[in-house]
Structures are given as structure tokens and as C-alpha cells.
Structure 1
């Protein structure tokens, strides 16, 4: 769909709404532009289709006026599987092993980026440069410096960029925030955020070996350091290695800490300290900690993150969650719903209010709506929101890796500690250069 077509659709929708025509459209269709002609189909390509990239694409394709025209993956086994799945639904797509070839494809209007974290920045920036709109998985960047460049790229190229923090589109999370902001909890002095997951098991050390047949391992590494292939570092487990990701802190932390910041209307802490390690299994093949406690200090409250791999029973008998602890009561929130536990008789309890919608589907719908309308302010998780929480999570990891209590200089935009500042950016390798854009 060309830019002129996008503008036409947005203008036509606005005119019809002004004329009162939207009032006679069924509510199930009113969220979509009235004009959804075949010529104005949004053509989507997906990069990285093994895990969440495929889930994201599937959700996006549920929207009318959208079709998939291309897939890309460095693992031919995964790529062939997904191409066949679409073919079974009478959807024929182009198949690429190099994302740059997909971005050169003029038939593609928008891309889904589901590659490992260390690829998000390059792919998103280059997709914007190529005139594509982008749905990029979280965490948006793999370093503080990458997050800054990604904000600048979106501003420079004015593309729609939705970050895959789909909880931002879920009703019960929004309802919980309204309650927190109502003041009924009284002064909130501490926000506890946690992930306790027994389904994430410590990985056993494995010897280096040969990449599986059909895998372009050099392309998979991209800007990460050149290392021999090890199955522990490939596919799902990449998230437990500093070269490519940041462990549970950036994997689940960006989802949950995001709502801690939103509830407290906060962004940048004064200081951060963290302690943890591979306590569940010291011989694990992973690098990131399986047990971690991080404290973010603000002027008059703290946010505390903790995770424990291999354990299911977390605070308030929940595997994961956010607890806003106020003088009058505590609001506990997770993906299942939210409730309020009173402090004595200072307030009324609120029984569990369960989730009743599909956050990922709603998030995909929101992305497509904005691709059509070009109203950037309607995005539920724009690039700035994704960058803010990714930076916040990276700060926690930097505190852990330095072993220090670190302080952020808001005016200079860096830490007061030289060792911590060295971790603001990650070095790019193998001929790749980090995009250096500034707002």
C-alpha cells in the first residue's frame, strides 16, 4: 500500500466519521477504516518466524485488508515449515534467508521483526529507511544506545513502529492503572515486580559443534561477537547470553516493569543496585542470572524486581506480577487479572477482576489501524514506550554486571560510574555498524 493510498484511506475515514456515517456501521467493524479495497491491502513481511515473530504475524493476519507476502529466516528448516503452513491456507509467499533482500521488496508495506534481540535495532532502523512500517518484538533494543538510535530512526523516517508489549492493549491492565492512579491505595511507597518460572529450566553445558543443516549461522550472529556454534545459544536459549539478550530482566521485565513505571508515572531512577547469580544451578550453561533482585530508587518510592528460574510460587502465590503497595492497600496485577488487598480496614477489598480479552490480537489490531490512519498518537506501544522500559531493564542488568550501586546523571544522560558507562553501548562485530542517529 503506497503512502498516497494510506493518506487517502485516512482522509476518507475522517470524512465519513465527520458525516456521521460511522454511526450506522456495525460495532464489530467500526474499528477498521470503511474503505478496505483490495488495491489498498497492507502487504506484510515477517523476519524471524520461529517463535513470537510467527505469533505476531498470525495475530496481524486476523485483521481484514492484510496479507502476508514474504517470510525471512536464517534457518531454512523453520522457513520451509512456515511457508508450507501458509501454502496449506492457499497463501503463497516469497521466501528470503537475508532480511535485507526482504526490505528491498517493493511489494511489502510493513514488516514484523521477530529475530533475536541483538538484531532488533539494525532491522528496525533499516526497515524504516526502506519506507516500511514496523512491528518489532520486545525488548526493542539490546542496549541503551540502541534504544536511543531506534527512537531517532522512527522520528527521522516517520514510520509507524509498534513494540510487541501487547499488555499495553489489554483492558484489565488499563483498568488496574486507573485504580492505582485514583489514589485509593494511599501513598504507594514500594512496587514489587517478579517472575518465578519453573518452566524455564537451567540449561546443561554442551560442547561447541556444527550448525544444523540449512542454518546460516554467520547471518544469525550478525553484529554479535564471532563464536563457534553452540546449541545452547541458538533459538529460544539465546536470551540467556549477554551477546544477544539480557535474561529474564529484559525478557519478562520489559512487560512487567513497564506497568510499574506506568502506575507510578515514572521513568528514570536516581540509582540502581542488583544482586544475584546462578544460584539454582551454578554449572548452568547460561550466562545471565537465574536468581536476581534489583532495586530502583526514586525520590519517594522504590521499584523492586526479582526473578527465580526453576521456582513457580512467587509473591502472592503468583508466578509473575506487579504489586503496588500503598498505605491503604495493595493492588496485585498479572496476566490473569487484578485484585486489591486492603491494609486492615483502611479500604474495601476488590475481588479478582479477571482478564477477558486477547492482548496480542488487540495489539496487532491497533498496529494495523494506525498503519491505515497514520495517527501515530493512537499507537498503544510506540517506540518511545518500548525504549523507555528497555533502557530501564538494561540499567538493572548493568547494575548486576558491575556489582555496584550505580547512579544516573539525568542531565548528561549517562551513569556517574565509568565501568557502568562502558555498558551503555554494545560493540558491533563482523563488519556491522550500529546506526548512529540522534533526535
Structure 2
């Protein structure tokens, strides 16, 4: 099945395969046994530096909870270096499912257990590839939160392992599973508004500053061994209280900033809508315009331009210091400019087709569109629905031995590369030129090559 056929078939095929498990009409004879690595809520351990002290935004905790709702999945193992997070997550899983998962601190032990078929990796970005590779080498399927590591070369290494092992893989770009998003993509493919030429994505987040702090002792809830495990393959640093659990995203060597973080979701939709593959040229500009002197290490303002073959372009604008909503009244989203109209993709999964002036609505799909699954109360919240559809697709594929997930490795690599090279361009100050047939750097010894792979702690290097 080619890419266009898959897009057209995706909605109906997914519905047929998953309706019984979503509604619970029939109890599956077999369940996927899941290990969750990185299950902490984003909570305040008393340092006052986390973005969301309510504990509502821990991505691993959110996705874990969605897996717990499935009829054909059993969460057998939880893994986190925060022992309080393990207790918290275990109590939630037990309450939701009636089953108590094992609690393991060391991911190397967790992913090798015999009672695990698949692993969800929702750890900080720098450890995504290392843990994901360990899981696939242990024979497990992999659901990986985006991005695929902190450098393009890491993603290639993980992809090589996936191809060698043949494990089922899916990236956590859950809007790929939105009914409304797929309907709008299909409308673009129909040619009714001409060819897509330019896709513009954006993400504006009003994030607080990260104050400078000095190294302190590792807290008891993590322990010295926990800090070592948390750093995983990254070069060792002293512990600071403003990094864990969330702000690591803005520290180089641990996170990747907002482009491969929130930006990847809508850069991925933009590339999907353009029907584009590997790029020819990636350029980015920006800098620390608002958080100069703070521990916020990545650029807080970022503009990305990507050129593909056939005169297709993709742009992304990001600012971590503003919650303004200048485009379509949304803080994040994607606009696709076609010959005879526009397509809009919103943050909650909503989508619409407009005329060339952006005035008349030709077609629109509500974020709450549940396709053939109307009536399932779990799908009433669009954000939750996207997650449920996405994890259900992965689970069904694992049980069927089907590699055709909602976001398999080849598609994941192409979208991930755009964001990783956007960061590279920021650091070199130059455009990055890419072989559009292979996705490789045109100059393998040029300035961009220095950022193709990150430095590793000795003995923790990635190995395919």
C-alpha cells in the first residue's frame, strides 16, 4: 500500500480494527503487556521551578493513563527514577484497572522483563534513543514520545535498530490519529483546492523564566543512583534543582527546545499535508531574546524555513515568551496554502478548508468528531480522544504484528529531521543542505556534521 492509499484507508481501517476494543463490546483474548518508562507527573518537589506544579502535564503519566483505558492492554511494569512518581502512578493504574503493576527504578531491568511486550518511553529527550534501542534489542515493541532523541544521527541509529529487529514502532505524534485531521488531509489530496504549496506552522507559549541556581545535593526522592540513571547516556553534570521534572526541555544536552517539542506536532502535519518527503534545505534564525542570562539554554525565539523539491515550502515560528494568538486565533497550529484555498489544522485536532482569502468556509471538521465511534464518553474531550486513538492503533498493531502504525519509523524520521536540523541551523548560523533522495547531509564534513550526533558519557554510546 502506498502512502496516499494508506492516508485514504487509514480512517476506516482503524475504525474497523479498533471499534470492539474501544467500546469494550468484546474482551480480547490477548492483551499487550506494557512497560511505562517515565511516568512522573510534572509536579513541584519544593524547588518552585517547574512549569506546571499541579501535576497535570506529565506526558508519560498522560499517555500511561490512556493505555490504562484500553481493553486489550495491561500495564505490567512502571519505571521511573522518582520513587514518589512510581507510587503515584502505580496507585492510579491500580485504581483504573484493578491490577497492580511492578515498580522498577532502572530502565535496563524494566525493558528486559519477560512480562513486557511493548515499552512506552516518555523520558527526557536525551534518553529517548538509548532506552528505545535497549527496548527493541530486548524484543519489545516501542511507543516513543517525540522527538526521536536530541540529534538527527541518533534517530538514524534508532531506525537502524528497528529495521534489524523488526519491532513495531510508533512515534507519539497523536494528531496523526485525529479523525478531523485525516479528513482535511484527504480533502487536500482530492485536489479540490489545487496543489499545496506552502505550509505555515507556529507555536507561541508563555513560559516562565528558569532562574539560575547552583548545584545542590541529589534529593532523597531520586537518590544518587537515580540521578545517574536520569542522565542516562548524557555527559555527567552536577544536580541542579531547576532541571527535573520539566525544565530539562530547555537545557542543551537534555532537551531540544520548543521546535522538536511542541513544534514537531505541527511541523509533522505540515509535511504530511504538503505530501513532502526529505528536504533540500533547512534554515533557522532566532535567539535568546527574552531570557538572556537565565538558565533557559535553548533559544526562546525561533523561525524555521524548509525547502522541499517541487517548490514546496514549510515554515514554523516559535516563541517561548508569548501566549499571543495572532494566527487563526490559536496559540499553535498549521495553515496550508493551496492553489485555490487554505487548510487549517488547530491545536485540539479541529480542521477546516477555506477559500483563497481565508474567509469562506468550504468544509470543516470539529475536533470532537469521533467518526464511527460516536457515543464513547471517553472521546468527548478531543485531546484525550487523539491520545486514545493513537495508543489503540499502536496496541492493535503490536498484537497483530503489523508495522503499519499511525506513525511508523520512516515517516517519523522525515518530520523529526526538519526540527533537529532547525536546531542545527540555529547553532551554526548557516543553512543545512540535504540530499533530498536520502535525507543525508550534502556535506558530511561541513559545520552541520558537528551536531549530527551529541556527545555521550563514556561507556554509554549508542550502538546499533
TM-score band (shorter)? 0.7 to 0.9
Distance 1:301 1:108, change over 3 A: closer
Q: CA deviation at 1:82?
A: 1.7
| Structure 2 residue aligned with 1:432 | 460
CA distance in 2, matches of 1:411, 1:26: 35
TM-score, length-scaled by structure 1: 0.87
Q: CA deviation at 1:348?
A: 5.4
| Structure 1 residue aligned with 2:322 | 311
Q: CA deviation at 1:235?
A: 1.4
Give the secondary structure class of the aligned counterpart of 2:299: coil
CA distance in 2, matches of 1:344, 1:295: 23
| Structure 2 residue aligned with 1:406 | 432
**Does the alignment pair 1:260 with 2:273?**
no
Deviations 1:267-297 (A, max 9, x none): 2221122111111232331111111111112
Deviations 1:219-263 (A, max 9, x none): 111111211112222211111122012111100122111111111
Deviations 1:88-114 (A, max 9, x none): 454222111101111231111221111
**Does the alignment pair 1:287 with 2:297?**
yes
Q: CA deviation at 1:308?
A: 1.2
Q: CA deviation at 1:424?
A: 0.8
| Structure 2 residue aligned with 1:177 | 185
Distance 1:400 1:29, change over 3 A: closer
CA distance in 1, matches of 2:86, 2:238: 23
CA contact (8 A) 1:194 1:306 kept: yes
**Does the alignment pair 1:106 with 2:118?**
no
Distance 1:376 1:217, change over 3 A: same
CA distance in 2, matches of 1:203, 1:365: 37
CA contact (8 A) 1:172 1:355 kept: yes
**Does the alignment pair 1:343 with 2:370?**
no
| Structure 2 residue aligned with 1:269 | 279
Give the secondary structure class of the aligned counterpart of 1:339: strand
CA contact (8 A) 1:138 1:386 kept: no
| Structure 2 residue aligned with 1:19 | none
**Does the alignment pair 1:137 with 2:145?**
yes
Give the secondary structure class of the aligned counterpart of 2:143: strand
If you compute each CA radius of gyration, which structure gives the higher value, 1 or 2?
1
**Does the alignment pair 1:158 with 2:166?**
yes
**Does the alignment pair 1:418 with 2:431?**
no
CA contact (8 A) 2:27 2:72 kept: no
5+ residue gaps, structure 2, are 1-15, 41-57, 371-384
Give the secondary structure class of the aligned counterpart of 2:416: helix
CA distance in 1, matches of 2:462, 2:91: 35
Distance 1:187 1:67, change over 3 A: closer
Distance 1:207 1:276, change over 3 A: same
| Structure 2 residue aligned with 1:36 | 28
**How do 1:167-316 residues align onto structure 2 when only pairs under 5 Å count?**
167-198=175-206, 200-215=207-222, 216-299=226-309, 300-312=311-323, 313-316=325-328
| Structure 2 residue aligned with 1:375 | 402
| Structure 2 residue aligned with 1:320 | 332
CA distance in 1, matches of 2:353, 2:256: 32
Greater mean deviation of Cα atoms: 168-177 or 230-239: 230-239
CA distance in 2, matches of 1:53, 1:26: 23
Distance 1:26 1:60, change over 3 A: closer
Deviations 1:331-374 (A, max 9, x none): 221133122332259x9532643211411000111111111111
Deviations 1:144-173 (A, max 9, x none): 111111111111111111211111111111
CA distance in 2, matches of 1:146, 1:27: 36
CA distance in 2, matches of 1:366, 1:26: 7
| Structure 2 residue aligned with 1:149 | 157
Distance 1:411 1:261, change over 3 A: closer
Distance 1:76 1:430, change over 3 A: farther
Greater mean deviation of Cα atoms: 42-51 or 405-414: 405-414
Distance 1:258 1:106, change over 3 A: same
**Does the alignment pair 1:67 with 2:74?**
yes
CA distance in 1, matches of 2:93, 2:68: 11
5+ residue gaps, structure 1, are 1-22
Distance 1:107 1:27, change over 3 A: closer
TM-score, length-scaled by structure 2: 0.82
CA distance in 2, matches of 1:190, 1:372: 38
CA distance in 2, matches of 1:83, 1:187: 49
CA contact (8 A) 2:18 2:393 kept: no
Q: CA deviation at 1:325?
A: 1.6
